[in-house]
Amino acid sequence: MLDTVMFTLMFVVVLGIASQWFAWRFQMPAIVLMSIAGLLVGPIFGWIDPSESFGEMFSPIISLAVAIILFEGSLNLDFREIRGFNKPLYRIVTFGAFIAWVAGSLAAHYVAGLSFSVAFVIGGLFIVTGPTVILPLLRQAKLKPRPAAILKWEGIIVDPFGALLALFAFEAVMFIDGEVSLHAFLLFFAAAAFAVAIGWAAGWGLGWMFENGNVPEYLKSPIVFATVILAFVVANSVMHETGLLAVTAMGIVMANMHIASIGDMRHFKENISVLLISSIFVMLTASLERETLLQIFSLPIVLFVLTMIFIVRPLSIWLSTIGTDITWREKMLIGWIAPRGIVALTVSGYFASVLQESGFPDAEILIALTFALAFSTVIVHGFTIGPFAKKLNLASSEKPGVLLIGGNIFTTELAKSIHELGHEVCIMDQSWQHLSLARQQGIPTKVGEILSEQTEYNMDLTPYPILVAATEVDSYNALVCTNFVPELGRDALYQTALQHADMKDFHQSLGGKMLFDETSTIFHLNERIIRGQVFRKTQITEQYTFTQYLRERAEEALLLYILRANEKLEFFTANKELQASPGDTVVSLTPPVKEMAKRQERIEADRLKVIEEENE
């Protein structure tokens, strides 16, 4: 076994990120690949054992990683996001969580065979889903905003409360058995309040310092990073698992202070979280023992997992959302998706040991029980969330839509051509007047500032994975593209050619890909439309190849984009030549000569047909 600390650390990080890349490349659930990779290199082949390599540092590393991941998730919990559906969300994280606790505890006792005391504790822990599993699934499935927001908020809010609920259940069991005094039992609530106070104070204090210029820009992310660890450790030192509550409170406070630099911090934390999630999943699964893997296939554990997936979760969602405006489709999806992740795996190990020490021998199966539930839900929900959401019409269209920034003649005609090919499209501009032509053509429009923070909450950008900035201001186009690099990626961002030569050096490091060619400024494109040039769609076939099309096209024709046979849209750019294959459709902006010739040919063919019919 190669168990040196340096090798193990390298292997875990590389394997985790490689799993993420393979998941992206082959459109598979990332958490599934990470879990399988950990099992293969750990208990199955025995190449690494992180728990043995890291020794006493294993649990602290996992705990700190979970704290950072949970903070990053809570940093996205802006209350403006849940306007209009805060009632069902509140019911799910309160009444729904309580139902899941009671039903899960009953299932653990009557199905898995645990004693009431142990079942009562582990039932509280199993209400968690958490950002470590929910966020990768949402990134993969691309759900519509409301179900995605509900699942995200539920996962992040319930994550610390699930651990605290299990801790509360344990303290209650110890109090009923006479192992702890009433004073010690009440100390649990004081510790939870203390954790919230620490998180609130840390979040508000940092926000105030940032807004008043007391921290330089380059130190903001490092200071946040250090404060998260500080708040987690201080709260956890008072009572186990309350640190998760502290970092969640800290993130929510900072998210709702609307700090100017929150976006940069969020992107930094998101990158760190991807690295941590990848590594931690591999570490946990690679550290499992073979006996634990064999134990999860026992009949009571299998039946318990099935009960949790098909009865407990749907029941808690359907009962808790009675009387709300949440649709039956949303209930079906949310009631199905509840993967368990890192918090459940790590905290169950803690309770397995303390419960056994307290005289509950049946707690020895908690690790196997938790892993069975976590791995099963990760696999099942990872592979089904996308197809199930599409079946319920709660996923964005498979055909990539295009968001055009700037209302003018060219963007209107471009949007019309994309719309006619069956793809979603929208033109956005600050001016109502600039969008009048698009409205007349029946093209979806949106009046507003794409860079405004309000746009994120007032407009669903999920259907538009491609953005084209085509206003008359080059610097604004570049700013829009640069702003959306973290969300969409640079490969999905385009802007029209620069109007001034001295802007080209500026464009090398900022902005999106330059559309079409270096001469196609928005003024040049608008002028082409005014001169009567038209959008022409040409199907490439085995008989009519792309090479033949290029040879026969009009000299002034401008290649715009290709609609691939798999419905993928690709724009021609100044620095990349595209090749079309049979089944693809090439769209170009061409002089109307060929269109007039084709129209004349059709008229002549119709005339000859009429003559033939008269002769007959």
Q: Which pLDDT tens digit goes with each residue over 68-90?
A: 877 877 777 777 766 666 788 88
pLDDT of 270 reads: 66
Question: What is the Cα–Cα distance from 244 to 415, expressed in whole angstroms?
Answer: 47
Amino acid identity, position 109? H
Q: Are residues 329 and 413 in the same domain?
A: no
Angle at 135 (CA atoms; ends 392, 82), nearest 5 degrees: 70
Q: Are residues 228 and 112 in the same domain?
A: yes
Q: Which pLDDT tens digit goes with each residue over 253-276?
A: 888 887 766 666 666 666 777 788
Question: What is the token pair recorded at 155?
Answer: 């996962």
616 domain residue, yes or no: no
Q: Are residues 411 and 377 in the same domain?
A: no
Residue 3 pLDDT > 70: no
Confidence bin at 101 (pLDDT 50/70/90): very high
Average pLDDT over residues 572-600: 76
133 domain residue, yes or no: yes
Domain range enclosing 372:
60-391
Count how many domains the chain has. 2
Residue 614 pLDDT > 70: no
Q: Which pLDDT tens digit goes with each residue over 318-337?
A: 999 898 888 899 899 999 98
CA atoms within 13 A of residue 474's CA, in its CB half-sphere = 19
Asked whether 437 and 409 are in contact (CB, 8 A), the reply is yes
Dihedral of CA 238/242/248/253: which sign?
negative
Question: What is the Cα–Cα distance from 458 to 448, expressed in whole angstroms?
Answer: 10
Place of tokens 């168990």: 3
pLDDT of 310 reads: 93
pLDDT of 1 reads: 47
Residue 296 pLDDT > 60: yes
Neighbouring CB atoms inside 10 A of 63's CB total 22
Q: Which pLDDT tens digit goes with each residue over 145-183?
A: 788 888 888 887 887 777 778 878 887 877 777 666 677
Residue 360 pLDDT > 80: yes
Angle at 611 (CA atoms; ends 610, 616), nearest 5 degrees: 100
pLDDT of 379 reads: 85
45 domain residue, yes or no: no
330 domain residue, yes or no: yes
Question: What is the Cα–Cα distance from 343 to 252, expressed in whole angstroms?
Answer: 19
Average pLDDT over residues 380-390: 86
Confidence bin at 553 (pLDDT 50/70/90): confident
* CA-to-CA dists, residue 333 to 223, 533, 552, angstroms: 39, 47, 51
pLDDT of 513 reads: 84
pLDDT of 36 reads: 85
Q: Are residues 407 and 431 in the same domain?
A: yes
pLDDT greater at residue 325 or residue 104: 104
Average pLDDT over residues 246-251: 88
pLDDT greater at residue 375 or residue 614: 375
CA atoms within 13 A of residue 364's CA, in its CB half-sphere = 6
pLDDT of 444 reads: 86
Single out the residue in 391, 424, 449 at which a domain terminates.
391
Max mean pLDDT among 56-70, 221-235, 281-295, 552-566 falls in: 221-235
Q: Are residues 74 and 105 in the same domain?
A: yes
CATH number at residue 335: 1.20.1530.20
Residues 6 or more apart whose Cβ sits within 8 Å of residue 240: 167, 350
Q: Which pLDDT tens digit goes with each residue over 408-434?
A: 898 888 899 888 888 888 999 888 888
Q: Which pLDDT tens digit goes with each residue over 555-567?
A: 788 888 888 888 8
Q: Are residues 466 and 503 in the same domain?
A: yes
Single out the residue in 372, 391, 410 at which a domain terminates.
391
186 domain residue, yes or no: yes
Average pLDDT over residues 33-40: 85
How many residues in the chain? 616
SS3 at position 616: coil
Q: Are residues 574 and 540 in the same domain?
A: yes
Range in 26-30, 315-319, 580-584 the model is least confident about = 26-30
440 domain residue, yes or no: yes
Place of tokens 């992180």: 50
Q: Which pLDDT tens digit goes with each residue over 453-488?
A: 666 656 667 778 889 888 888 888 888 888 887 777
Confidence bin at 500 (pLDDT 50/70/90): low
Average pLDDT over residues 126-134: 78
Residues of the chain with pLDDT > 90: what percent? Answer: 9
Residues 6 or more apart whose Cβ sits within 8 Å of residue 313: 100, 335, 336, 338
pLDDT of 198 reads: 93
pLDDT of 503 reads: 57
Asked whether 559 and 572 are in contact (CB, 8 A), the reply is yes
Question: What is the Cα–Cα distance from 95 to 417, expressed in whole angstroms?
Answer: 49
Q: Are residues 228 and 291 in the same domain?
A: yes
Average pLDDT over residues 45-65: 84
338 domain residue, yes or no: yes
16 domain residue, yes or no: no
Place of tokens 């033109």: 427
Q: Are residues 306 and 221 in the same domain?
A: yes
Using alpha carbons, select from 308, 332, 306 the residue that is nearest to residue 318.
332
DSSP 8-state secondary structure symbol assigned to residue 496:
P
Q: Are residues 569 and 485 in the same domain?
A: yes
Confidence bin at 304 (pLDDT 50/70/90): very high
Question: What is the token pair recorded at 320?
Answer: 């808790």
pLDDT of 266 reads: 62
Measure CA 375 to chain center. Answer: 20
CATH number at residue 462: 3.40.50.720
Average model confidence (pLDDT) across the chain: 82
Q: Are residues 372 and 515 in the same domain?
A: no
Single out the residue in 391, 418, 433 at which a domain terminates.
391
Residue 599 pLDDT > 60: no
Q: Are residues 411 and 451 in the same domain?
A: yes
Helices 299-307 and 97-110 meet at what angle, rounded to 10? Answer: 160
Using alpha carbons, select from 48, 126, 19, 159 the residue that is nearest to residue 372.
126
